[in-house]
Structure 1
């Protein structure tokens, strides 16, 4: 999914609109001159997030200490802990309790899992943030971190790499304006920070929606934040529509991937409300943080000097989308937070919404 969307953006930044048009496209990547002091963009946010999640999982397992906390009355006693022989204190809870190879729910609650009662009645709003850094088990952790690498790493690379290429190419033909392109390069690095903001805020948005609908279960995981990145990729495609060549392919690929992942969320024990909340948050934030100069403005550096080009960096529709998304994002968080801390049960206002998170079938049932 991320590769297909990135391929469309890469095609635009290398040639633009399928190579058609009267303006010369930038040269191939290997022809970019390497100026002294310049380095290719190296992603840092995604690797840091992956490392933090792995480290925190180790901390949770240390606190969990299955052999010491296993009840003696449990069938099999402490020996029921999975891999106790070589993991010792870090061994997993019995598979009958946690089939994902992870800690107990008590350990997760202790370290910041999302629990509606604690958020609302004990005023522990910080759980809306901490829960996105915890995982229910090794299987859960690996699935989310693999998704983060496939989605986030590509997104971070593209936003740093594209501007850097234009800087090199333009600096070759316009050496008298190096300061402008150095500024573009610094801006590309700042875009990685924006992706971090989208990731974290989307995770919180997913936590808010989850808390409004789910009261009796705990929730952990980075899935809401990951869906936020998917939503941001979709809105980035819309707001930067003019710089894409394979628009239909990129849009179709994103929609299929999003639909499939949301469909998986209707299985039991999956918090699809966190997915939906994260996706909607990321979708709005993409319009705000990932707006890029339109195709005509970017091409002005490679056009002949006697040809007129637009002086507007962004198109009116981009500003309109940014304004609408900003208003909706602020209102959404304000209303959601207000309802949550007032103890409102969103299920009372939407009788069918529980089917968005779990659809009962003959093979499984959905707990209340």
Structure 2
């Protein structure tokens, strides 16, 4: 998120997307008529995907939350507002916090540090990344936040979205999606934005949101209520992307993170599709079988190829100093759409 009017990076809570549960309608089997068919997977249930689908304990996402909070506290300590704020118009906010007090609201309305401090600690800035070869900022910027409001909105979103995904798919896959999506958002942001700094976990969070969509699509056949789930998820994504067109909001980080997470979801979150066999035709003691579908392999290969190609091309263009706006004239509207209430000349 760009410093300024926070995108409220409010990543709508993913409670509309609670995962999985498969149940059985039950019924005693008599000798008459066909046996009952197992109930389809209910998208939004709380049960596990059959007994063979493990449930992981979520620890990585809570650790990410703690790490972000610690980094913010360190940022405020380094910022040390009382040391450089003098005069009636330079009063720090919440002075009882001492060295951790916030910058004046006229400088940062999000109750946080100065842009100078964020730049010092690793915010995303085109000049530093390209001209001074500080590529590490593509990663460090996703751990910095512009203020308490920014931090709280992001961490609540991370808890609602990330914990459920980690419980279902494990810490390795969700950790990879989170970090690569954050970097993907940073790369796209750097390609299109040169006149401001950007911080926040918005790209990583949008990556988790994108992976939820691709996970639903690649595992389509094992869900019931799939149309309702898809429409709900698309609505949540559209609202969040629409917020990004407000001034001073880094929507390129959102889009880059979302696309990265969407492709990674096809690669990392595919499940074997269960083939329900008629019980009367099954040999005694035989277990239900499952396998990946051909379309899942196709999506896996296509997504992996697009992901690698996209990262390579974007990084080459970025470090060559190319301006993405020269190659996509309309892309500027992804970040800001001018209206009678505001213009986009300074964003």
TM-score scaled to structure 2, two decimals? 0.85
Q: Once the 2 structures are TM-superposed, how far is the Cα of residue 359 of structure 1 from its aligned partner?
A: 1.1
Task: Specify the alignment match of 1:194 in structure 2.
Answer: 173
Partners of 2:288 and 2:126 in 1: CA distance = 52
Tell me whether 1:92 sits opposite 2:70 in the alignment: no
Q: Does 1:243 align with 2:202?
A: no
In structure 2, the residue matched to 1:361 is: 339
Between the aligned partners of 1:29 and 1:214, the Cα distance in structure 2 is 42
Aligned 1:113-128 pairs, distance under 5 A: 113-128=123-138
- Write the deviation string for residues 66-113 of structure 1: whole angstroms up to 9, x where unpaired: 11123x4x6534xx11111x1110000000000000000010011110
Q: SS in structure 2 opposite 1:352?
A: helix
Match for 1:294 among 267, 270, 273? 273
* 2:70 alignment counterpart: 55
Matches within 5 A, 1:179-218: 191-218=170-197
Residues 135-186 of structure 1, C-alpha deviation per residue, up to 9 Å, x if partnerless?
0000000011111111111222233xxxxxxxxxxxxxxxxxxxxxxxxxxx
Q: In the aligned structure 1, how far is the partner of 2:278 from the partner of 2:158?
A: 35
**Secondary structure of the corresponding residue to residue 363 of structure 1:** coil
Question: d(CA) in 2 for partners of 1:4 and 1:109?
Answer: 37
Match of 1:171 in 2: none
Displacement after TM superposition at 1:347 (Å): 0.6
By how many angstroms is 1:15 displaced?
4.1
Following TM superposition, by how much is the alpha carbon of 1:296 offset from its aligned partner in structure 2, in angstroms? Answer: 1.4
Unaligned stretches of 5+ in structure 2? 1-12, 26-33
Name the counterpart of 2:309: 331
- Alpha-carbon distance in structure 2 between the residues aligned to 1:118 and 1:75: 34
If each structure's helix is expressed as a fraction of its own residues, which one has the higher value? 1
Give the secondary structure class of the aligned counterpart of 2:342: coil
Q: 1:67: which partner in 2? A: 82
Task: Answer yes or no: is 1:81 the counterpart of 2:92.
Answer: yes
Match of 1:157 in 2: 167
Number of residue equivalences: 317
- Confirm or deny that 1:14 pairs with 2:20: no
Partner Cα distance (2:208, 2:46) in 1: 27
1:322 maps to which of 272, 296, 300: 300
Quick check: 1:300–1:309 contact (8 Å CA) kept in 2? no
Q: Which blocks of at least 5 consecutive residues in structure 1 are unaligned? A: 160-190
Displacement after TM superposition at 1:229 (Å): 0.4
TM-score (norm 1): 0.80
Distance 1:221 1:60 in 2: 13
Paired residues of 1:294 and 1:314 also in contact (CA < 8 A): yes
Aligned to 2:111: 101
After TM superposition, the structure 1 stretch with the greater mean CA deviation from structure 2, 130-139 or 147-156, is 147-156
Runs ≥4 residues deviating over 4 A = 20-26, 306-312
> Is 1:2–1:155's contact at 8 Å kept on the other side of the alignment?
no
Decide whether aligned partners of structure 1 residues 352 and 46 sit closer, same or farther in structure 2, where only a CA change above 3 A counts: same
Query: Are the aligned partners of 1:6 and 1:158 in contact in 2 as well (CA < 8 Å)?
Result: no
Looking at structure 1, the residues matched to 177 and 129 of structure 2 have their Cα atoms a distance apart, in angstroms, of: 23
Say which of 246, 254, 258 aligns to 1:279. 258
Which structure 2 residues correspond to residues 166-181 of structure 1 after superposition, within 5 A? none
